[in-house]
A and B are shown apart, each in its own frame.
Chain A
Amino acid sequence: MTPLAGYLLLSAFLFAIGLAGALTRRNAIIVLIGIELMLNAANLNFIAFWRYGANPEALTGIMFVIFAIAVAAAEAAVGLALIIAIYRHYKTTNVDEMNSLKG
């Protein structure tokens, strides 16, 4: 197994773990952590392809990861603010108890 395939497999496993957490857990905070893990798996793919792919001096992989980290930070801030607002309304953070749009 080449190093690139190793990193891609690690990234795929991380994505699957995050997806499993986002789909199976009841707590909204854990769902958000799962989404963060999936974003990080994509970032690991970008860096691995930058390192082992063609034309690394263009730095596109690194730039994409830097911007993706910034977007993911904004997403985490807004997502956790939404969870806090929903908790204040429903007094729960379980996603299967939030089942009405108009509270």
Chain B
Amino acid sequence: MTLSFAIIAALIIAAATAAMTLRNLVHSALAVAIAFAGLASAYLQLGAQFVGLTQILVYVGAVAILIVFAVLLTRGGEAPEKSVFSASWFWGAAIATSVFALLACAINHSFASKRALPPQPSATVEQIGQDLMTKFVLPLEVIGLLLTAALIGAVIIAMRDESPKSKIEDGGSKMDKTSGPSSILHPPSSSGGHQ
């Protein structure tokens, strides 16, 4: 166990713990970005340069910003006056602790704790690109399709929907008036329905 691993592990553990315990959501988002950056340095330490840089690009760059946007759009920036933990926090903490104890026990008794150190494998970007374009080309296409579908779905879910009542009236009574959003059309269409 080297010094660099100890530093990286301490950084990741401290940042992840802070992200899960801080009251302010913006502080949590910042802490989780630090945890993601620490994980990227762990990947670099393990010799997976491409994955480390992808982690920085996707997680520190995109997901952290997405989380901050969600915090701001839901006005969660101010710390709540009530407890931030749910009523059943004790059972959640107990389950998490027992899961960690089980995993640590399994790791300590497995072959991983006495395995000899193999030489550093090489994973150049050229090799990864070759494999992505030959052996893994079908998963690559599927993941592209999945990303497209997921992002379109996310936009549709988060889009502001007009109330179902005005939609029914628009569709039922005023088919000829197609210009303008339904919120502008709503008063004349409802009065037309009553006459």
Mark interface residues in B120-156 (1 if CB within 8 Å of A CB, else 0): 1111000110011000100100010011001101110
Per-position binary interface string of chain B over residues 57-89, scored 1 when its CB falls under 8 Å from any chain A CB and 0 otherwise: 011001100110111011010001001111111
A37: nearest chain-B partner, CB-CB: B16
With known contacts A70-B143, A84-B73, A95–B86 Cβ distance under 8 A:
yes
**In the complex, residue of chain A having the shortest beta-carbon distance to the beta carbon of B147:** A74
Q: Check if B34 is an interface residue, CB within 8 A of chain A.
A: no
Query: How distant is the Cα of A44 from the Cα of B6 in the complex, in angstroms?
Result: 15
Q: Are B73 and A50 in contact (CB under 8 A)?
A: no
Q: Is the CB of B66 within 8 A of A1?
A: no
Alpha-carbon gap, A30 to B67, bound state (A): 9
Number of interface residues of A (CB under 8 A): 72
Chain A residues with CB under 8 Å of B80's CB are: 26-27
- Shortest beta-carbon distance, B61 to chain A, in Å? 10
Q: How far is the CA of A83 from the CA of B35 in the complex (A)?
A: 23
| CA distance in complex: A7, B113 (Å) | 11
**Contact present for A20 and B93 (CB under 8 Å):** yes
Chain B minimum-CB-distance residue to A5? B113
Which residues of chain A come closer than 8 Å to B103, judged between CB atoms?
Answer: 8, 12, 15-16
Q: Are A78 and B28 in contact (CB under 8 A)?
A: no
Knowing A44-B42, A56-B118, say if A77 contacts B99 (CB, 8 Å). no
Cβ of A23: which chain B residues have Cβ within 8 Å of it?
A: 88-89, 91-93, 95-96
- The docked-state distance in angstroms from the alpha carbon of A70 to that of B151 is 12
Contact B67 A4 (CB under 8 A): no
Given A3-B117, A27-B25, A27-B84: A69 touches B54 (CB 8 Å cut-off): yes
